[in-house]
Amino acid sequence: MSVSLIIVSHSARLAEGVAELVGQMNAGQVSVLPVGGTDDGTLGTSVTRIGQALEQALAQGGAALILMDLGSAYLSSTTALEFLTPEQRARVQLADAPLVEGAFLAAFEAAGGGTLDEVRAAAEEGRAMPKITG
């Protein structure tokens, strides 16, 4: 089962930028769906738009990992999950991970055929990813 990534941000440009970065680094092997901003294009999150991304990610029988930027992105994501069937919900997880590093590590794991649990665990390892070494 392939794992898609859903990038939920308060900013459409931020979500699109993370999706672009991750997509180029994994050569398009993993579906990365950006969901940023509200329905009217302002800063915020949209339960409706998150739900649409979930439908797209789950349509082919795959799984989805949601990565979020700030607290209310979590609230909107969990609300969107309430509209899924139990079978669909079983194929979605939320990652407690930094957005950029988590998305990068998750995409790498997903491209290698990782399970949803493995992809989430990889994303969450991003919390310990050093930016400066030496």
> Among all residues, which ones are annotated catalytic?
10
Compute the distance between CA of residue 62 and CA of residue 33 in angstroms, rounded to an integer.
14
Question: Diameter of the chain by CA atoms?
Answer: 49
DSSP string over 43-55: SS--HHHHHHHHH
What value, to the nearest 5°, has the Cα angle with vertex 20 and ends 81 and 120?
Answer: 40
Which contiguous run of DSSP H or E holds residue 17? helix 12-25
